[in-house]
């Protein structure tokens, strides 16, 4: 595990700032070598921090805190598009990991927690519907022109469809797709 002095998850938990960790706000951003910029390095943050924390502690209260932090980010984070994009990434990666756990029960995700993400998905779907125009016009992260013709909207739709159709996770595909 990452040393507790530089473990941004532990710091966010201690600070009551798990929502800031979710969106990768500076100081709660998980550093990682990456080819593209992202608001939070979700894959590394999940594998190195969240999963490790769960395996070490089996802290059942964490699951509720984690879900609540995603909902709080969607509801209150000042950069709405960042929150939508980051939470979508967390949901997608979590359901990818669940799929890995099912296909390889002895693999890296064998001890992965089971968390109900339906409520988060419902809120996420609503936020996607309400903020469609702003998301189409946002060309940050995966919304850059090399990856999308419709800003963040296109990659967000790929994530939503992938979670629902490929990973059999909750449906947060907007009705105004």
Q: Which CATH number characterizes residue 55's domain?
A: 1.25.40.520
Average pLDDT of the residues in 3-25: 91
pLDDT over threshold 70, residue 99: yes
pLDDT over threshold 80, residue 1: no
pLDDT over threshold 80, residue 35: no
Block residue for tokens 């999940």: 46
Is 162 among the domain residues? yes
Position 5 scores a pLDDT of 58
Average pLDDT of the residues in 145-166: 98
Task: For residue 56, name the pLDDT band (cuts at 50, 70, 90).
Answer: very high
CA neighbor of 76 nearest in space, from 9, 159, 143, 20: 20
Quote the domain boundaries for residue 56.
8-166
Is 26 among the domain residues? yes
Is 23 among the domain residues? yes
Which residues have CB under 8 Å from 170's CB, separation 6+? Answer: 91, 117, 118, 120, 121, 122, 163, 164
Q: Alpha carbon 167 to chain centroid distance?
A: 15
Is 91 among the domain residues? yes
pLDDT over threshold 60, residue 18: yes
Average pLDDT of the residues in 14-20: 97
Is 2 among the domain residues? no
Count other Cβ atoms within 10 Å, centred on residue 57. Answer: 10
Domain total of the chain: 1
Position 104 scores a pLDDT of 97
Block residue for tokens 């159709």: 165
Is 171 among the domain residues? no
Q: What is the pLDDT of residues 101-133, one digit of tens each?
A: 999 999 999 999 999 999 999 999 999 999 999
pLDDT over threshold 80, residue 6: no
How many residues make up the chain in this entry?
177
Is 173 among the domain residues? no
Position 97 scores a pLDDT of 98
Position 3 scores a pLDDT of 56
Is 177 among the domain residues? no
């Amino acid at each position: 595990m990452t040393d507790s002095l530089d473990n941004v998850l532990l710091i966010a938990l201690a600070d009551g700032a798990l929502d800031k960790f979710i969106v990768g706000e500076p100081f709660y951003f998980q550093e990682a070598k990456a080819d593209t910029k992202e608001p939070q390095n979700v894959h590394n943050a999940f594998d190195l921090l969240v999963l490790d924390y769960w395996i070490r502690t089996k802290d059942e209260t964490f699951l509720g805190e984690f879900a609540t932090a995603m909902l709080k980010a969607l509801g209150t984070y000042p950069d709405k598009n960042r929150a939508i994009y980051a939470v979508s990434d967390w949901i997608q990666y979590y359901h990818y990991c669940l799929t890995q756990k099912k296909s390889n029960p002895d693999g890296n995700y064998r001890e992965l927690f089971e968390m109900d993400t339906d409520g988060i998905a419902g809120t996420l779907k609503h936020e996607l519907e309400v903020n469609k125009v702003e998301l189409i016009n946002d060309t940050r992260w995966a919304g850059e022109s090399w990856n999308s013709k419709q800003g963040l909207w296109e990659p967000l739709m790929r994530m939503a469809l992938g979670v629902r159709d490929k990973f059999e996770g909750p449906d947060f595909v907007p009705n105004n797709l």
